[in-house]
Every structure is written in structure tokens, then in C-alpha cells.
Amino acid sequence: MRTRLSRCVVLVLLPLVVALNGPGRTVVAQDLPWQDKGSPFGVVAALGNRVRADEIPAAVALMREAGIQWQREEIFWDRVQQQPGGPYDWDGDDTGRYNYDLAIAAQARAGIRLLGLLDYNPAWFKGKNPHPEEWIADWGDFVYNTVARYGRERGQIKHWELWNEPNLAASGYESGLYTIADFVRLLEVGRAAALAADPEAKIVLGGLSSIWSELPSPYHYDYFDYLDQVGRLGGWHHVDIIAIHPYRPDAPEGDAWRRDHSLTFRQELQRLDGLLRTYGPKPVWLTELGWSTRRGWPGVDPDTQAFFLVRAYLTALAHPSIEKVFWYDFRNDTDPGAPYDQPSYDEREVEFHYGLLRRSYPLDPGRGDLRKPAFVAYRTMTGMLAGLALQTVVRDGEDGVYWYRLAGQGRRVDVLWRTGFAAPALELACSCREALVRAWSGEVQYVLSSANGVLTLRPAAIGAPLYIEYDPPARGGRFFEVTGHSLHGAFRTFWETRGGLARFGYPLTEELIEPEPGSGRPRTVQYFERARFEHFPELSGTSYEVQLTRLGEAALQRAGVDWRTLPQQSEVPAECRLFPETGQRLCPPFLGAWEQAGGLDLVGLPLNEPFPLRDEASGAEYRVQYFERARIEHHPAQAGSAYEIQLGLLGREQIVRWGAMP
């Protein structure tokens, strides 16, 4: 990887490979095979090179949290072998870096599949500009020994990418590959060595990168020209998978200007398909793709990086030839010369800010400022879409709306966003009972209850993807037919022992992962008619393992009321109780209801004095008082019945909408 936007692409229009046939259009392949998209979610983390040995467990834990399925592990030849014919050192140096044994084993144990990247000329020829024939035999030995160790012997890596960005001057010509024929020779020798070491090895062509601003030259090639020459020279036969790095200076749906013409992402993939038709169909892996959050152009703000991530994955995976996408990169980079425990934070250096995680020391998953919005977006994307397959592209830019429909494993999920200024009302004929609408971050927006199997939704924020899951399946445990949702584990225990239906109401969702405000850390939650449960596994075994969200305070905020600005009470009748923390009183009948509902623990502090409301249906007047976690209602018209004192349906009011989302 080098500077991203020093790249250009020549525009050649070819027939669209993904056929979009009429309303509710099914995605079909025309003349190229649809690739296996069963595990498309990758990242570039290169743990052995970039993470010190003592921090690898934390990095792997964060990768698992994000739902990463593949990781590209780069193994530098000059780090594992110092002399020709000399021994190989796989377990790092005295600084704790380059411990490939540790990094690879930790990821394999975690169930993360690995793409091994082998690259760059040997240590003994650095700075000497040798001809590749002087080291090509040693290259074969390096490939053989690496593949034998991590492939045949340990079974940890079966896919191997040979070299990185050979079409760019810095990693091609200046790294000893003087011609495209030299690269083809490297592929030929590398493939033979890899298959000799492990017959199950799959070879990935070293990823080729886009160039946008610089003119192509004999040392700096447009990757389409480079690929075409690789094909002409027979290099196509030495690889199983084609890899590209299609960085862009604009949005995934954009039409960026390149010297004398423009190029969309789809047109770029269409042109690549032309090479697949010419030299033979092969899967395409995007082994690097990303946007930097550098301050100033060509950087984007952190939320936009998150939006682009989701939109790029959906756009790429809707193309038949694209099989996997590796986000570059997992963690922000730093100056290679900076001490590991003193990383550089230069906000204007574009290379330092592609990561899903901010650069910090130590690497602490509990740190509140570690996760960028893009990490949260990636975690939500894998949680919502892993195991699903694209069924239909419902809209592909019409009225500025993009709408993808996926299904699998008993689940149906739509992903949609808008890039236009208008927010059209979209009718969803779902034949469903309800739909759970979540933001790009995983935060619940609404539960939409359908009207005769039809929903109406209006995407609000420009560029921000929404997930719509139809009739989310119950996950087992105690099932409630009235809402179609279930309770299990710690939430079920809490619900059954702390008030049950009377206190909390029916479950409105299954257990969900939502981002913790401020930090983005994952928090398991579940919505009920009168409450929202939050799980704190770090407090397991204590009375605080399950806690209630402050829905009462949130309801006042939505109404534009800041309880801190309300008048403070000083006179306290004998039958009342004053709470100095909020300056509010609690008097009968609200006091007795508060105590019965769980008091300070489950209801919280009073936030206002009771005030009157009128029931729109009956016209009867009643009084309400808000608390941190609840609203208590007194209905005099129901005096003497079980409904005289009621707990407000704050959970239902917050998320349930009937038929339409505003």
C-alpha cells in the first residue's frame, strides 16, 4: 500500500454484467459465473507486522467483535530470512514484532480465515537493484517454506497472495520487478513452489492498485494495462484469483473525473469483467479498499467513512465476479519510525487514518475512544448480513435511492440508503408482521408494524444506510405469541424476578447488539413495552448485571423538556418525600406506586412534578409523573380498579410505529 490517490484508471465501457430486469429486479449473471460470496467480510490487519506480540490477543478480540471473516496477514521476506540459504525466523524480534507464528495461530484459533501475503525482495539485495533472476530461486524457497509451514503442516493458511501492488513504482520497479514479465516469472515460480509445499494452496495475484492523478509510465502502470499484459504473457494461468485495490477519491456510487473522462465504480468492475472474458473467468478479491479520515481532502469525516464502508461492500458484492472485500485497514497506521508506545497522530497524513480503530497505546478494547464509527458500521454490517445472500436489487439509484434485498438462514434483511436531497416515501410490500429498522450503527430506529403486509419508510439522513429486518426470528427460551418474541438468559431471569409483565410488559424485540453511546462498545439490549434492558457481563454475579435504560429521561428530552431546568421544590408535605438530587417531590398515590414498581432501583429518581393530560380516545383526564426509568400514570376514572395506577408504555412509544416510519 502506498499513497492512494496517485492513481488513474482508463475508462472503457462494457456491457453490464449484473442484469437488473424491471421492478423488483433479480440479480443475475449473464456470461460470467456468479462467485461464492459466503464469507465476503475481510480486513487488512497484518497483525504480525503491525501489532506487538503482547497486544495480539486484544487485536484478535476486537476482530472477533467486528465479525471479521478473513484477514490478510502480510509476511515480509526480509524479516524472516536474512541471508541466502539461511534459516527462517518466524517468531519475531526482541521488540515483540514480526511474530508470525503467534499472530497466525491466534487468528486461526479464533476462527478467522487468513489470506497470506508474501512480498518484497530479499534482505541481502536491498538497495542493490539486482535483476530478479539473481533472487528468483531464493523467492521460490521462501514461498515453499512459508506455505509448507502454515499450509501443509499447520493447516492455518490455504490462500496466498504473491506480492503487493507490482503496478506501482515503489512496490514494483523500485522493489526489483523491472518489467511485467518479471512479475509473471515471480508468479510462475511462486505458484510452483506453493503447490509443491501444499497441493491445496490457492494462489491470488498480487493486488493491483488504481491510480487517479498521475500519468501512467513504464514504472507506474494503470492496473488494467498491467493486467492485460499479465494475461498476454501467460500469467493468468499461474493464479486462481485476481486481486485489485480499487481505491476511489469519491463516494462508492460516484462518478469521479479522471483527466479527460469520468469513471464510476461499476464501470471499473465492468472493464475488469472484460479482462475476465478475454483471459478466463476467475474470482476477484478486493484485497484492499478504504477511505482515509485524514483532515482535509482527500480525507472524509468519520461518519462518512462508516457510510462509504457499508455502501462499498454492498455495491461490490452485488457484482457477480467479486467474491471478497478486505477493508484497508483494521487499525490506523503510524510513522514507521515512531516508537510503538508513542504512535504518531498526524491528522493531515492520509496514510495514518484508513483504520477502523484509532491508533492508541496500549491497545485496550475497553477504551472509550478506540472504535471509529467505521468499526461500529463494520460490526453492524457483519452482524446483520453474515450468512445472507443477495436476492434482489430493488432500486439502483432511481430517485437517488439504493436498495438491496438479502435473505438466508430464515432471515430477510433489506439495506437501503439515499444519496439524493429528496427523502421519498418507500413502500415495502413485505408480507410480514413487523420490521425492525436499524441505523448503520446498529441503533434501533423503529419497529414497524405492518398494515396488511405493507410498510412505508422514509430514509432521513443522506448517505446513511438503514437495515430493515422482516419478522426477526425468535431465538428460543420463553416465547410470547402476542408479540412474536422471546426471553432467555439473564434478561429472562431479571424479567421474571423483578416484576414480569406488570412492570416491564411484553418483549418487543429479541436481544440485540447496540453501540454504547460515546464509546461504540457493543452492548446487548432488549426492548419491552415499558423498559429497555441492558446487559453488563462485566458485572456478572452482581445485582447490576442487568440494568434499565433511562427511558423516562429520554422521553422528556424527545418532548423538549430538560428536567434540570424545572423549578426546584422546597415545601414537602408530611405524606411526601423530597429527592434533593433532582429537587422534586414524590407524593401519594405516585409514592406508593413508585415503591411497588421497584423504587430507586427500577424506577429511579422523580424528574418533575405530576401534571395533567387528557386521554384522546375517552376524553378522561389523568396525571403523570416522569422518573429516570419510567412514567407513572394516575387515572381517577379507573378508581378502584387495577388500572387506576399504570406504568407508561415508554418502550412501545419510543420504537413502535404502525405501518409507516416518519
Check residue 30 and give its pLDDT. Answer: 58
Q: What does the pLDDT look like over 7-28, one tens digit per residue?
A: 333 322 223 333 333 344 444 4
pLDDT lower than 70: segments of the chain:
1-30, 214-215, 258-260, 659-662
**Residue 419 domain flag:** yes
Domain match, 187 and 106 both: yes
Domain match, 466 and 489 both: no
Report whether 147 contacts 102 (CB < 8 A).
no
Helices marked H in 318-451 — which ranges?
373-385
Check residue 23 and give its pLDDT. Answer: 40
Helices marked H in 478-562 — which ranges?
489-497, 500-504, 551-558
Give the domain CATH number at 215. 3.20.20.80
**Residue 21 domain flag:** no
- What is the identity of the amino acid at 62? L
Domain match, 399 and 512 both: no
**Residue 574 domain flag:** yes
CA 112 to chain centre: 15
Strand, coil or helix: what is 170? coil
DSSP annotation of 171 reads: T
Instruction: Using a pLDDT cut of 90, give the percent of the chain over it.
Output: 83
Start-to-end CA distance of the chain, whole Å, equals 44
Strands 113-119, 401-408: pairing kind? unpaired
**Residue 94 domain flag:** yes
CA atoms within 13 A on the CB side of 172: 24
Domain match, 121 and 148 both: yes
**Residue 150 domain flag:** yes
Domain match, 95 and 214 both: yes
Check residue 60 and give its pLDDT. Answer: 98
Domain match, 457 and 483 both: no
**Residue 440 domain flag:** yes
d(CA 133, CA 152): 27
Domain match, 98 and 215 both: yes
d(CA 255, CA 111): 38
Domain match, 620 and 526 both: no
Report whether 487 contacts 495 (CB < 8 A).
yes
Set of cell numbers at residue 205: 495475484
> What kind and span of H or E run contains 370?
none
Of 502, 520, 549, the last residue of a domain is 549
Domain match, 482 and 447 both: no
Check residue 212 and give its pLDDT. Answer: 78
Give the domain CATH number at 441. 2.60.40.1180
Check residue 555 and give its pLDDT. Answer: 96
**Residue 201 domain flag:** yes
> What kind and span of H or E run contains 417?
strand 411-418
> What kind and span of H or E run contains 220?
none
Check residue 661 and give its pLDDT. Answer: 55
Residue 56: closest CA among 2, 102, 118: 102
Domain match, 196 and 333 both: yes
Of 549, 582, 601, the last residue of a domain is 549
Domain match, 532 and 627 both: no
Domain match, 151 and 194 both: yes
pTM of the model: 0.93
**Residue 17 domain flag:** no
In which domain, by residue range, is 164 found? 37-284+316-346
Number of domains in the chain: 4
Residues 6+ apart with CB under 8 A from 518: 368
Report whether 187 contacts 224 (CB < 8 A).
no
